Structure 1
């Protein structure tokens, strides 16, 4: 972003935004990379932590609920934290480092979960909910390995270590499956992205109306947004019940009750995937207006008018773009 901004004289005000989830041995190391990027590129850096925003760190959350559903918490909190940070910086775009591998994993996850509401938008280069700051994914068609090779040969300072909690993440299973498919058919990742692009929700299907959370004011289709629901459970000690049980105890019940999904698809740079290029910072452009909410509280799949995914989709095969 910095190079393109200078080369083409876009006149953008760029910022780095990094979220500190509070994961010892992972995020603390990556933040050092981001701070070096700040000095190298001369771009202002803002760091927001889960501790400051929510009063919890991921290490504490995992110690409380175990490893089974921790990515649910991290995904919801991280997306809201990005929006809060973007609002503080006054930007009008959030640019994330999602690559082709990330997007293909998300398509596969949403198919396996039957999550049509997210499936219809997860491949878009620019995504936005009403009142939320748009997010762009310029590396949509760039493979993860291409980014790593570029950073290596250009001697860029980047961070590529996986989250210590990612082996238990649902996304990890999707990634393993994709890698197996890629060995058989090298074009699998791009093919899956094109398949996701060809899906669209029928125009006569009623989708949940976006409102705002009655507690924190962020976007939500329910009375409370998912972040507030999760925080309420943590602060009341509900997730502690059932720890160690094979069934997941009350934590699984809470997750199912509110329609929460492990590793929601937005977020950029969520746990369970590698992070490359510019450390954990997200490129941003200065916002011209005010922010009306965050993108963390998307529609609850349980509230869809139609529960049969086959009735919600029009499958077409538009001509594929040449790359």
Structure 2
């Protein structure tokens, strides 16, 4: 027997929310979904009037719904934001080239400016080039490091002072579990923050990043996109099946099937975990080569690029002692002229030296 909506009590319910288990009609689901994201934005103090906001757009469900919601709420609640779409082309044939067509459709649908930056232009390497050299293992690590830096560089180029990403509650819970399993205390603290980066020191190239979907379930994002008939790209990255995150995602789905609140429970656990006094955490500084924010003298992107150029693809993936740094990355004796850094296209002939 059909149920009436538990909110309006009149219309027939068409779905049961995965987060709350409430039976809702379509219009009440829209209201609850949009209102919760608006409350997250207001309570988290994510924006201020006049901000120029770069929306990380990949063409997937999360970024497509994010672009739609940000435009909708900006107009409905008069946030006073200047919204632009920023896409990163990793250079993955048969995946990113297709998804970028979806991003271009989003640009037309939402009438938002779009900028596309590529790994090839920024680093001199596409992901296809990297995978040819390193194989299918650890390629997601390269992509994650490069993509994060590319978004920051793109936002700086567009003079944006805030970046929003479509990371949802499932993504954050997965990241918390991964950092717990790796014993990465520093990242565990950062990954639970709804807003990271102060943006106060422009020399560090730090632009605040916000996650309006921090408490939004992936299933509800999919349902919202479906009912709103939003156009998004749903094919998984061809290099993703070997990613470590995939195993954690499967584990999280098993937990959720037993306890629907498992995702929010894990996020809450990550938020309340604290480090004992006296425990020393890495101090954020800037990379000596590209001036990007880093807790080491040389940022991970520069280390990885150096490894690719030197034929040491594991550099930056495993501890430097395991690859013995191959002559501590001494510059080739046959080359005396300066070479480009690759991460920022500056010239720097100093070899990388890691402690």
- Shorter-chain TM-score tier: 0.7 to 0.9
1:14 matched to which residue of 2? 83
Q: Report the secondary structure of 2:161's partner residue.
A: strand
Task: Compute the displacement of 1:258 (Å).
Answer: 4.8
State the Cα distance separating 1:121 from its structure 2 match.
2.1
- Which of 225, 228, 231 is the aligned partner of 2:299? 225
Extract structure 1 runs of 4+ deviating beyond 6 A.
none
Residue 255 of structure 1 corresponds to which residue in structure 2?
Answer: 317
CA distance in 1, matches of 2:212, 2:227: 21
Alignment partner of 1:71 is 2:133: no
- Range that drifts further, 202-211 or 49-58: 202-211
| Residue matched to 1:183 | 257
1:17 aligned counterpart, secondary structure? strand
Return closer, same or farther for 1:121/1:222 CA change in 2, 3 Å cut-off.
closer
- SS of corresponding position for 2:190: coil
Cα distance 1:106–1:258, how it changes in 2: closer, same or farther (>3 A)? farther
Partner of 1:152: 226
Aligned to 2:274: 200
SS in 1 for 2:137: coil
How far did residue 122 of structure 1 move? 1.0
RMSD, aligned CA: 1.9
Structure 1 position 192, deviation (Å): 0.7
How far, CA to CA, are the matches of 1:9 and 1:210 in structure 2? 35
Using the TM superposition, name which of 79-88 and 172-181 deviates more: 172-181
Corresponding residue number in structure 1 for 2:74: 5
Pairing of 1:306-317 with structure 2 (within 5 A): none
Q: Cα distance, 1:218 vs. partner?
A: 0.9
| Secondary structure of residue in 2 paired with 1:256 | coil
Distance in 1, Cα, partners of 2:267 & 2:232? 26
Deviation at 1:237, TM superposition (A): 1.8
Aligned residue for 2:108? 39
TM-score, structure 2 as length reference: 0.67
Count of matched residue positions in the alignment of Structure 1 and Structure 2? 250
Alignment partners' CA distance in 1, 2:72 and 2:316: 46
* Alignment partner of 1:27 is 2:96: yes
- Name the TM-score, length of structure 1 as normaliser: 0.74
Partner of 1:201, secondary structure, is: coil
Q: 2:308 aligns with which of 234, 237, 245?
A: 234
SS of aligned partner of 1:14: strand
Structure 1 unpaired stretches of 5+:
240-250, 260-292, 294-301, 304-323
1:320 aligns with: none
Find 2:243's aligned residue among 162, 169, 187. 169
Q: Is the 8 A contact 2:173 2:267 kept in 1?
A: yes
Shift of 1:209: 2.5
Query: C-alpha offsets along residues 178-237 of structure 1, whole Å, 9 cap, x if unaligned?
Result: 111222222211111111111123454332222221111111222211000000011122
Q: Secondary structure at the match of 1:121?
A: helix
- State the partner residue of 1:122: 191
Distance in 1, matches of 2:209 and 2:284, equals 18
* Alignment-derived partner of residue 23 in structure 2: none
Q: Which position in structure 1 is the counterpart of 2:126?
A: 57
Q: How many angstroms does 1:32 deviate by?
A: 0.5
Q: Is 1:141 matched up with 2:210?
A: no
Alignment partner of 1:16: what SS? strand
Of residues 193-202 and 53-62 in structure 1, the stretch that sits farther from structure 2 once superposed is 193-202
Determine helix, strand or coil for the equivalent of 2:274: strand
Q: Deviations over 1:62-108 (max 9, x none)?
A: 11100111011001100000000010011111111011110010000
Higher Cα Rg, which structure: 2
Q: Give distance in 2, aligned partners of 1:107 and 1:118.
A: 9
In structure 1, how many angstroms separate the alpha carbons of the residues matched to 2:286 and 2:212?
29
Unaligned runs of 5+ in 2: 1-69, 322-343, 345-353
